[in-house]
Each structure stands twice: as structure tokens, then as C-alpha cells.
Amino acid sequence: MIDYKKNLLFILVFISGFILFIVYSYTAEKMIYNETCTANWVIFNDKGRANLTIDFMYNQKNKTGTVALSGTWQQGNRESKSIRRNIEYTWIENYDTAHLTSKKVNKFEIMDQVDDDRLAELIPDFYVFPEKSVSYNILK
């Protein structure tokens, strides 16, 4: 009977911990990045083709954020390679233009199969290297 109570207590503690972790993760994300914006981006040039999804998560008050860049890249008829990285950034605003500066680029090594130099030929350096800038004109 004691083993049954121990097992039941262990299961209840585990479930409670899991629920608390989920609630904490959700609220922490909402507090840090309280606004989001998603864009799909298709790029063609002589270096290849990329189908990308860009998720901007940012905090308007702190002027900081993270871009989740994911998608595929293909050069000619070769097989597609995946891209997955997070770019931490800061920004300043000038009227309707946002000037973003990358601070740290976190590559998911298992999923990100494209070399930085090749990717830099296709998309702005902001998404590839730290301390690079890009500007966006935001129409309201």
C-alpha cells in the first residue's frame, strides 16, 4: 500500500511540475516578447532559391527582439537544404523605418545545413552574421 501511495505522489508531483513549467514558459515568453510579426519570403537569384519564414518577436519598450529564420535553400537542381537560426537584435526607429542590428546569431546546427558564406550571397548579412544591420520601412 505504501508503494502505491509513493507512486501516486510521484506521478502527481511530476504532472504538477510539468503544468507549472508550461505556464511559466508561456508567461515568460509573453513578458519578454509581447509582440510578433510573421512574413514569408521567397528569393530567387543566380546563386539559388530560398523559401523562408521569418518570425519577428520583439519588445517595443526595450527595443530588443529575436528573429526566427527557417526554410529551405536550393541551388540549381541540387537537393534542398534546410535553414534554421535565431537572430537576437536591437533596433532604433526613424519615423516609419526600423533599423535593426543583429547582436547574436544562434544556428540550430542539426537543422541548419547551409554555410554562412553561401547564405550571405542570398539574404542580407543581418540574418547571417552578428553586428550587421538591415532597415525595414513599415507601412501602417
In the chain, where are the structural domains located? 1-32, 35-137
pLDDT number for residue 10:
79
What distance in Å separates the CA atoms of residue 11 and residue 6, rounded to the nearest whole number? 9
How is residue 52 written as a grid cell? 523562408
What integer is the mean pLDDT of 51-77? 89
The CA-based dihedral angle spanning residues 107, 112, 115, 117, taken in that order and rounded to the nearest 10 degrees: -50
What integer is the mean pLDDT of 47-74? 89
15-55: per-residue pLDDT in tens?
888 788 777 766 665 556 567 888 999 988 877 788 999 99
Q: What is the pTM of this model?
A: 0.71
What distance in Å separates the CA atoms of residue 26 and residue 31, rounded to the nearest whole number? 9
Greater confidence, 134 or 118? 134
Q: What are phi and psi for residue 46, nearest 5 degrees? A: -70, -10
The set of residues, in sequence order, having a beta carbon less than 8 Å from that of 24 and lying 6+ positions away, is: none
Q: Are 40 and 27 in contact (CB under 8 A)?
A: no
Q: For residue 118, what pLDDT band results from cuts at 50, 70 and 90?
A: confident
Residue 1: strand, helix, or coil: coil
